[in-house]
Amino acid sequence: MIHSVVVGGGIMGSGIAIALARAGHAVSVVEPNECARARLNTGFAEHRWPSPELVPSVGADLQASAAADLVIEAAPEHAELKRALWRRIGTVAPETAILATNTSSLDVDDLAACVPNPARVLATHWFNPAYEIPCVEVAPGHLTSSAVVQHVMEILAAAGKRPVVVGNTAGFVANRIQFAAIREAMLCVQEGASPADVDEIVRSSFAPRLAALGPLANADLGGLDTYLAIFDVLRRAHGARFEAPAMLVDLVAEGRVGTKANAGVFDYTPQSARALAMLRDDRISRVLGAIRNEQGT
């Protein structure tokens, strides 16, 4: 059994603890705040567990990581706080323990410099709620060993997650995309749209498509030449933040305009292009059907 220690019992830390415990890990949560520990114990007690032995233990002592196989730091996103915490983790955790941070904005190498043997350090960026969302971004540092990356990928896959290796850059992949969308949503509200309308428009328009395929496959289905033309309109109306990416300009110039040309961001045959459209439609139908059933409509 893997002994995993989650340092920090906030929203992310508690969710990560539940996800790992569900996967059969022996999980300890280290949380210095007494009120937070009480909330954790109450929340874990109310959670439905396949077996009572899986309920994570909760304590204040970082010494819990002294016998850990995996330590995941889930403290707030403050660089100096994390550095200080990592220095302490480095003195307590075994030399063989894998050390992961849940950051998506701080430099993995900066944190790795705080502990002995930085080859075992990397980021595992989970998404809230961590026990439900399948993706975990795995960001190795400059010195992270390939064996550690592979082992973490295997641990996460065994826990039912879909780990993806990403580069060690601010925001990784998901938050760069997510925060660009949040920025535009808030700008729309600033310009007069209601928050409720913005959320409804997203929920009822492109969000189901994104859940079905992701942005790039959807762009291929929509036609990259169409996307380029819309970027030009948006740029003239809203400024440089809507400048078309060079990748898009180049693809259209090469005639790779999407599934209708059997080539876009991805390559297609006529058969695979039709299959992709059918897959999109089927998945959207199931996503929207589940929402309608939940709403009783």
CATH number of 246's domain? 1.10.1040.50
Query: Is 192 a member of any domain?
Result: no
Q: Which helix (H) or strand (E) holds 294?
A: helix 270-295
Query: Is 213 a member of any domain?
Result: yes
Last residue of a domain, one of 133, 165, 197: 165
160 in the same domain as 270: no
Its pTM stands at 0.92
Query: Is 184 a member of any domain?
Result: no
Last residue of a domain, one of 132, 165, 198: 165
147 in the same domain as 211: no
Say which range, 23-37, 41-55, 158-172, 199-213, has the weakest mean pLDDT.
Answer: 41-55
144 in the same domain as 83: yes
25 in the same domain as 140: yes
* CA distance linking residue 273 with residue 196, whole number of Å: 36
155 in the same domain as 255: no
Q: Helix, strand, or coil here: 12?
A: helix
- Percent of the chain at pLDDT > 90 equals 92
Query: Is 189 a member of any domain?
Result: no
Last residue of a domain, one of 165, 192, 226: 165
Which residue's entry shows tokens 């043997």? 117
Phi and psi angles of residue 32, each rounded to the nearest 5 degrees, phi first: -75, -25
143 in the same domain as 33: yes
244 in the same domain as 134: no
160 in the same domain as 271: no
Structure-block tokens of residue 141: 């540092």
Among 268, 289, 288, CA closest to 277:
268
Tens digit of pLDDT for each residue in 236-279? 999 999 999 999 999 999 999 999 999 999 999 999 999 999 99
Supply the pLDDT for residue 297: 62
137 in the same domain as 26: yes
Among 247, 251, 275, CA closest to 261:
251
Query: Is 273 a member of any domain?
Result: yes
Supply the pLDDT for residue 292: 85
Query: Is 193 a member of any domain?
Result: no
Structure-block tokens of residue 159: 């826990």
How many degrees, rounded to 5, is the angle at CA 192 between CA 189 and CA 196? 55
Query: Is 223 a member of any domain?
Result: yes
Among 20, 50, 55, 25, CA closest to 40:
55
Query: Is 285 a member of any domain?
Result: yes
Q: Which domain holds residue 135?
A: 3-165
Supply the pLDDT for residue 212: 95
152 in the same domain as 225: no
CATH number of 32's domain? 3.40.50.720
Please provide the average confidence, as pLDDT, over all residues in the chain.
96
Mean pLDDT of 287-296: 84
Instruction: Count up the domains in the chain and report the number.
Output: 2
Mean pLDDT of 121-140: 97
Structure-block tokens of residue 164: 């993806």
Supply the pLDDT for residue 293: 85
9 in the same domain as 152: yes
79 in the same domain as 137: yes
